[in-house]
Amino acid sequence: MKIGFVGLGHMGAPMALNLLKAGHTLSVFDLSEQAMQTLADAGATKAASPKAAVSGAEWVVTMLPAAAHVRSVLTAEDGVLAGIAKGVTIIDSSTIDPASAREFGKLAQAHGNRFVDAPVSGGTGGATAGTLTFMVGGSAELYESVKPVLSGMGKNIVHCGDTGTGQVAKICNNLVLGVTMAGVAEAMALGEALGIDAKVLGGIMNTSTGRCWSSDTYNPFPGVIETAPSTRGYTGGFGTDLMLKDLGLATDAAKSAHLPAFMGAIAQQLYQAMSSQGDGKLDFSAVIKLYRGTKG
């Protein structure tokens, strides 16, 4: 299938590479020339704009930082809606607020197109391995139709309900993730201060009731998990500023639902402190630096 792909960052690039490996034809656009070149080297065509990337495409995938980027990529003069053929479906895998996803759904519909929110879970490792979980918001029929495209990038493709519910699932999941990472970081730093070896403590946690993705796959203490960003200087994973954005989405959503978000609000302040100290681009597991000080 011919796919127009916009947004080739930490997640988008490996996702697009997997679509190429699955035999699809890709036309790609990103603000970064270097990101586009990596895809071109693997067989994709570089486009000069989102409009050019989606010209002649049967499917469109966007993987952008936040709702403002999605809005501009869709609606700009040289944007997706200006170049897309009628009837083509736009799959947005960015993590954004459910209300914006519903707004983009209506925008696409008014233009004679279809839109699904399909945010992902699984991190850069899952994006590279093609094992992402997709949380799909849209009609049952639309969900069935996007499965062949999404299966080139992920393993679990879950229908969450109508447009926007994929984002509901995603922000609730990331609320848990932001909180568990802060909890594991706090416990690992405490263990270090009290004199236990970090690998021993990590190992115990991972066969005990403290086990979670933040401890067994993405442990924030360097050296506990060889493949985790903490072991490579907190680079190349899920940026702190993106986690901060997601916790903002969760706490805003809680406010609109008239619910408290005690844990989310505290976690949000931790990542805000990191970002304010200039660590916003580091992987979010660098939150442990707030506890370890100069050792981190």
Q: Pick from 3, 4, 5, 6 the residue near ligand NAD by CB under 6 A.
A: 6
Residue 59 DSSP code: E
Q: Quick one: 65 or 203, whose CB is closer to ligand NAD?
A: 65
Query: Between the CA atoms of 258, 238, 148 and 29, what dihedral angle is there, to the nearest 10 degrees?
Result: 110
Catalytic machinery residues? 170
Q: Pick from 94, 214, 251, 285 the residue near ligand NAD by CB under 6 A.
A: 94
Alpha carbons 165 and 270: distance in angstroms, whole number: 27
34 residue type, one letter: Q
CA 148 to chain centre: 20
Asked if 7 touches ligand NAD (CB under 6 A), the answer is yes
- Return the residues of window 18-37 that contact ligand NAD according to CB under 6 A: 29-32, 35
Q: Quick one: 201 or 250, whose CB is closer to ligand NAD?
A: 250
Alpha carbons 113 and 91: distance in angstroms, whole number: 11
From 1-9, 135-143, 147-155, 207-215, span contacting ligand NAD (CB under 6 A): 1-9
Local structure of 45: helix, strand or coil: strand
Alpha carbons 194 and 201: distance in angstroms, whole number: 11
- Return the residues of window 213-252 that contact ligand NAD according to CB under 6 A: 237-239, 242, 246
Size of interface with ligand NAD, in residues (CB under 6 A): 28
The tokens describing 295, both together, are 């050792």
Q: List the Cα angle 80/84/88 in 5-degree steps.
A: 115
Q: Pick from 26, 44, 88, 120 the residue near ligand NAD by CB under 6 A.
A: 120
Q: Quick one: 13 or 188, whose CB is closer to ligand NAD?
A: 13
Given the DSSP bridges, would you call strands 2-6 and 59-62 parallel, antiparallel or unpaired? parallel
187 residue type, one letter: A
Binding string to ligand NAD for residues 274 to 293, with x set by CB under 6 A, is what? --------------------
Binding string to ligand NAD for residues 43 to 62, with x set by CB under 6 A, is what? --------------------
Alpha carbons 44 and 28: distance in angstroms, whole number: 7
Report the nearest approach of ligand NAD to the CB of residue 267 (Å).
15
Q: 3-state SS of the chain: helix, strand, coil percent to 5?
A: 55, 15, 30
Q: Quick one: 80 or 224, whose CB is closer to ligand NAD?
A: 80
Report the nearest approach of ligand NAD to the CB of residue 20 (Å).
17
CA dist 233 → 95, 199, 283, 296 (Å): 25, 17, 9, 10
Report the nearest approach of ligand NAD to the CB of residue 50 (Å).
6
Report the nearest approach of ligand NAD to the CB of residue 280 (Å).
11
Residues that bind ligand NAD (CB under 6 A): 6-12, 29-32, 35, 63-65, 69, 72-73, 94-95, 120, 123-124, 237-239, 242, 246
